[in-house]
Amino acid sequence: MCGIVGYVGPRSDDTALNVVMEGLTRLEYRGYDSAGVALVNGNGVEWEKRAGKLANLRNALDEAPLHASATAIGHTRWATHGGPTDLNAHPHLGGTTDKLAVVHNGIIENFHSLKAELLEAGVQFRSETDTEVAAQMLARAYDVTGDLYAAMTSVVNRLEGAFTLLAVHADAPDRVVAARRNSPLVVGLGEGENFLGSDVAAFIGYTRNAVELGQDQIVVITPDSVEITDFDGNPAQGKAYEVTWDAAAAEKGGYDTFMEKEIHDQPHAVGDTLLGRTAPDGSLLLDEMSISEDVLRQIDRITIIACGTSAYAGMVAKYAIEHWTRIPVEVALAHEFRYCDPIVNDRTLIVSISQSGETMDTLMAVRHARALGARTLSICNTHGSTIPRESDAVLYTHAGPEIAVASTKAFLAQITACYILGLYLAQLRGGSFAEDARTVMGQLAEMPEKIATLLGTMDRVKEIAGFMADTRSVLFLGRNVGYPVAMEGALKLKELAYIHAEGFAAGELKHGPIALIEPGQPVFIIVPGPDTPHDLHKKVVSNIQEIRARGARTIVIAEEGDTDVIPFADEVIWVPQAPPLLEPLLTVVPLQVFALYLSTAKGLDVDQPRNLAKSVTVE
Ligand code: M6R
């Protein structure tokens, strides 16, 4: 939550402000209830901040331009402490001379006691935020040390919780000093200029050379230097890497919204995640797997931890991994996992799934599992983010940057990565499915084209969404791997269209949810392909009849050629045929498209739905 940007460059013109505003534009998905910037120039520190979207800040800057500067910091906020007002927007100024400005991502958990101390000392606060406590402490420390870096080292050890802090001071106009604990911070290396950002999107238009800061590190950037220490002032190293995607990947590419673009990126997201995982003999390769084969052979339980859409990817994975490996798989919501006295030991493989690699609940669950002795593997889309860095192994998804708050392509890439993991374990551990791994990899390789074909047939889904702009409730039913797809379809609708939506296991219908069915109630039903074992296809077709008999409006997602559904469907959305376990890569697509267009039909903000932020970096 919250996006932060810092820049130090060579020239005293508009460079710094432009770079920071551009960075904030790219980071706005992280939080969008207020935004602000601070510049350092011959006038000292100048700032502007506004409640609401970045456009409000842009208008304010147009109306009252700031003076030229080579050094700037900026912030786009998702409010935690203090409502989304102009006063609570960042930057926050410390002291009475307004020479020091701070932006912050995270939550300073002990801010109440620190604030009480400062109030006692006569400090006057202008906002209700936890961040201002850090600003005031830094200003007081600066009065003693006369040095921004020294002030930062003396303050950070007193702060608890999660924070990335960026600070500038009028007396040190050539530098930004930053510190990080439990919140992300990446340095962008330029020539005669350097950058800071919550993620590389902040500066991808300028450089692909990045250095990821470690836990409890401070960095000082000037135009020509980047110096990193730990919180005690000892020299430290960040992790250097080159970003593999370019600025265009984080742009809309001709689509109206990032979400629409990202839905259309899905064939690539799946294809790229599969790339390089197969040896010439067809067997699976996992180069990034740094947990030894011996250890993996001993694993007797897998627990998948994740939140939101990523947890639904985990639920799909459970069906596939258990089927292929016969290892019991449990899926736990990360925020529940830590507090349920989990059964974890050194033969447990914890698989975390996170697009951002920053979700605080998931990170804390990974740490908890490690402390209990488990091996941890991260499935993640963001290189260099905290969760993979703190895990024993990582399997990166290659979906490219996902900007829309509602996850789409990351979901498909996560499911793909889970399949790869399951097949890899099956191959490694032998057993009846070891030989099938190659066949399934071959079937997976066909999926990108099928997704692309399906995306070409979404006009009717768009029309259905258009008719349903006034709908107040939508239900989703699925079975087996279709069950998490139903949950994901409902989540997309809640997030994007702000209407009541529930996903149920179709078998659960008669145990209660069928009471919700009344004439006209729209219900999406994800029908397993006719080849699905245990007659599941037939059972779900019966479910359609049961709800139709009670007046439901049935919108059926079925495999091409599945004529059994036609008599009971008000609408059929056809998807290409696929092996049963791989169906979610297709069946979720119409649900994403439906949510996108229902949100559009209601005139809502598709990419930045209310109250949400892309990365949930607070508990
Ligand atoms: O970055 P992560 O995958 O860890 O995020 C997890 C959830 O916060 C995320 O999937 C959320 O549910 C999305 N808004 C869903 O569209």
510 is a catalytic site residue: no
Cis previous bond, 342, omega within 30:
no
CA atoms within 13 A on the CB side of 219: 30
Say how far residue 398 (Cα) sits from the centre of its chain. Answer: 14
Q: What is the pLDDT of residue 355?
A: 96
The average pLDDT across 319-336 equals: 96
Predicted local confidence at residue 11, as pLDDT = 63
- What 3-state class would DSSP assign to 379? strand
**3-class DSSP state of 429:** helix
**% of the chain with per-residue pLDDT over 70:** 99
Catalytic residue among 99, 261, 318, 614: 614
3-class DSSP assignment, residue 268: helix
Distance CA 175, CA 220 (A): 7
Q: Which amino acid is at 73?
A: I
pLDDT tens per residue, range 268-288: 999 999 988 887 776 777 767
| Ligand 1 centre distance from Cα of residue 17 (Å) | 31
User: How much is the pLDDT for 614?
Assistant: 82
Q: How far is the CA of 205 from the centre of ligand 1 (A)?
A: 25
**Which residue ranges does the chain devote to CATH 3.40.50.10490?**
258-445, 455-601
CATH for 455-601, options being 1.20.120.80, 3.40.50.10490, 3.30.365.10, 3.30.420.130 = 3.40.50.10490
Per-residue confidence (pLDDT) for residue 81, from 0 to 100: 79
Give the position, in ligand 1's atom list, of the atom nearest the Cα of 359. 4
Full DSSP string of 211-224:
EE--TTEEEEE-SS
Pairing of strands 571-575, 553-559: parallel
Per the structure block, which two tokens stand in for 448? 């990108």
Mean pLDDT of 76-86: 84
Residue range(s) occupied by CATH 3.60.20.10 in the chain: 3-250
Work out the average pLDDT over 410-429.
Answer: 95
Q: Distance, CA 310 to ligand 1 centroid (Å)? A: 6
Residue 340 falls in the annotated catalytic set? no
Å from CA of 380 to ligand 1 middle = 12
Can you give the pLDDT at residue 448?
96
Could you tell me which residue, 292 or 494, shows the higher pLDDT?
A: 494
Q: Whose CA is nearest to atom 8 of ligand 1?
A: 308
| The 239-242 sheet, strands edge to edge | 44-51, 34-41, 71-77, 3-8, 194-197, 186-189, 209-212, 239-242
* Residues 530-574: tens digit of each pLDDT: 988 888 999 999 999 999 999 999 999 999 999 999 999 999 999
Segment 465-476 shows an average pLDDT of 94
Three-class SS state of 184: coil
Per-residue pLDDT tens digits for 94-127 = 998 999 999 999 888 898 999 999 999 999 999 9
What is the third-level CATH fold of 258-445? Rossmann fold (3.40.50)
pLDDT at 12: 58
Mutate to test the pocket of ligand 1, among 29, 359, 403 (most ligand atoms within 8 A of CB): 359
Tally Cβ neighbours within 10 Å of residue 438. Answer: 17
What does the alpha-carbon distance between residue 30 and residue 23 come to, in Å, rounded to a whole number?
Answer: 12
pLDDT tens for each residue of 218-256:
999 999 999 999 999 999 999 898 888 777 777 787 899
Residue among 305, 333, 355 whose CB has most ligand 1 atoms within 8 A, to mutate? 355
**For residue 61, which amino acid is it?**
L
Is residue 479 scored above 70 in pLDDT? yes
- Per-residue pLDDT band for 79 (boundaries 50, 70, 90) equals confident
pLDDT of residue 179: 97
CATH homologous superfamily, domain 3-250:
Aminohydrolase, N-terminal nucleophile (Ntn) domain (3.60.20.10)
